């Protein structure tokens, strides 16, 4: 999927990803390619992104918002955890 | 006008609370087709699930009673609550700082509506309450 993770200050990740795992209001979810269109409020935790090369990226999240559209593009806005 | 309506009673696949904004009616039809709904009980009102997200009010009681009636009369086991982009009941998109803020705020409203319906129908076994945000490019499930 095409994934962009943004905070108010900077781009935290932008590129192809195999999966993204994060904490939501109702628990932990893992999003893969071709996920149905989804929006979710993120809660505090560490987001784990596996990029196209299989490398893991960890982003501490204080709160945020995730959106996956029907074209397998995901946008995540986060407030970084302090 | 002459028209033959079915006299058969039915079980509802879902009770759907949807905004009466006609821009999203075709989306509802497409969603029903995707989900394979044969029959739905449609509560089509201004603001969709908005009344369920606010404080106690006659509107809230009315919508809750419609849902309960669907469950009681037609055995609906799935409740679908919807809000949408640029809803007049919220003052339209211009009432929010930007497009993302609108989506976040309305998602929170959907969570509130969902919690209320789950609480009010806690005694109904096997009930699911699903929440959706309608965009002009499609329907987004709100993770819950």
Please state at what angle helix B99-120 crosses helix B58-74, rounded to 10 degrees: 60
Question: Do A40 and B139 count as a contact with CB atoms less than 8 A apart?
Answer: no
pLDDT of the residue at A8: 87
Total domain count, chain A = 1
Residue among A25, A69, A77 minimizing CB distance to B111: A25
| pLDDT exceeds 80 at position A81 | no
In chain B, where are the structural domains located?
14-141
Instruction: Please tell me if residue A27 touches chain B, with a CB cutoff of 8 Å.
Output: no
| Local confidence band at A26 (pLDDT 50, 70, 90 cut-offs) | confident
- pLDDT top residue among B26 and A71: B26
pLDDT at A22: 95
pLDDT beyond 70 at A72: yes
User: What is residue A5's predicted lDDT score, i.e. its pLDDT?
Assistant: 96
> How far does the CA of residue A59 sit from the closest CA of chain B (Å)?
20
Whether the complex's predicted ipTM is more than 0.85 is answered with: no
Size of interface A-B (CB pairs under 8 A): 45
Q: Is B107 on the interface with A (CB under 8 A)?
A: yes
> Can you give the residue range of the structural domain that contains A30?
2-80
The CATH number given to whatever domain includes residue A10 is 2.60.15.10
The predicted pLDDT at position B144 comes to 67
Is domain B14-141 given the CATH code 1.20.1560.10 in the classification? no
| Residue B139 sits at the chain A interface (C-beta within 8 Å) | yes
| pLDDT tens digit sequence for B78-115 | 999 999 999 999 999 999 999 999 999 999 999 999 99
Chain A's closest residue to B108, CA to CA, is A41
**A34 has pLDDT over 90:** no
Task: For B7-51, write each residue's pLDDT tens digit.
Answer: 999 999 999 999 999 999 999 999 999 999 999 999 999 999 999
Find, among B120, B115, B106, the residue nearest to B50 by Cα: B106
| Separation in Å, CA B102 to CA A34, B46, B61, B93 | 25, 18, 26, 7
The rounded mean pLDDT for chain A is: 93
**Gap between the terminal Cα atoms of chain A:** 28
Residue of chain B minimizing CA distance to A27? B144
Q: If you average pLDDT over residues A40-59, what whole number do you get?
A: 96
List CB contacts (< 8 A) between A25 and chain B: 111, 143-144
**pTM score:** 0.91
> Which of B100, B137, B141 shows the shortest C-beta gap to A36?
B141
Which residues on A lie below 8 Å from B100 (Cβ)?
Answer: 65, 77
> What's the rounded mean pLDDT across residues A36-58?
95
pLDDT value of position A70: 84
Phi, psi dihedrals of residue B31, rounded to the nearest 5°: -65, -45
Interchain pair B143, A38: CB under 8 A = yes
Contact criterion met (CB < 8 Å) for B138 and A36: no
CB within 8 Å of A73: residues ≥ 6 apart: A1, A2, A3
Q: Label the pairing between strands A45-51 and B128-135.
A: unpaired
Q: Are B141 and A38 inside 8 Å of each other by CB?
A: yes
């Amino acid at each position: 999927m095409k994934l962009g993770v943004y905070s108010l200050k900077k781009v935290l990740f932008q590129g192809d990803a195999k999966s993204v795992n994060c904490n939501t209001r109702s628990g932990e979810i893992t999003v893969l390619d071709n996920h149905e269109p989804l929006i979710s409020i993120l809660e505090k935790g560490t987001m784990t992104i596996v990029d196209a090369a299989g490398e893991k990226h960890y982003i501490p999240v204080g709160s945020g918002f995730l959106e996956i559209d029907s074209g397998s593009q995901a946008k995540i806005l986060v407030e970084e955890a302090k | 006008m002459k028209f033959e309506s079915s006299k058969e009673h039915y079980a509802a696949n879902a009770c759907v609370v949807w905004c009466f904004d006609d821009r999203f009616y075709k989306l509802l039809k497409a969603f029903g087709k995707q989900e394979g709904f044969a029959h739905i009980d449609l509560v089509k009102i201004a603001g969709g699930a908005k009344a369920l997200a606010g404080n106690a009010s006659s509107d809230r009681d009315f919508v809750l009673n419609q849902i309960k009636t669907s469950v009681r009369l037609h055995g609906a086991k799935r409740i679908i609550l919807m809000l949408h982009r640029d809803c007049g009941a919220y003052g339209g998109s211009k009432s929010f700082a930007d497009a993302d803020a609108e989506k976040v705020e309305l998602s929170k409203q959907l969570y509130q509506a969902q919690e209320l319906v789950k609480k009010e129908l806690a005694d109904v076994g096997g009930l699911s309450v699903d929440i959706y945000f309608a965009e002009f490019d499609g329907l987004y499930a709100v993770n819950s």
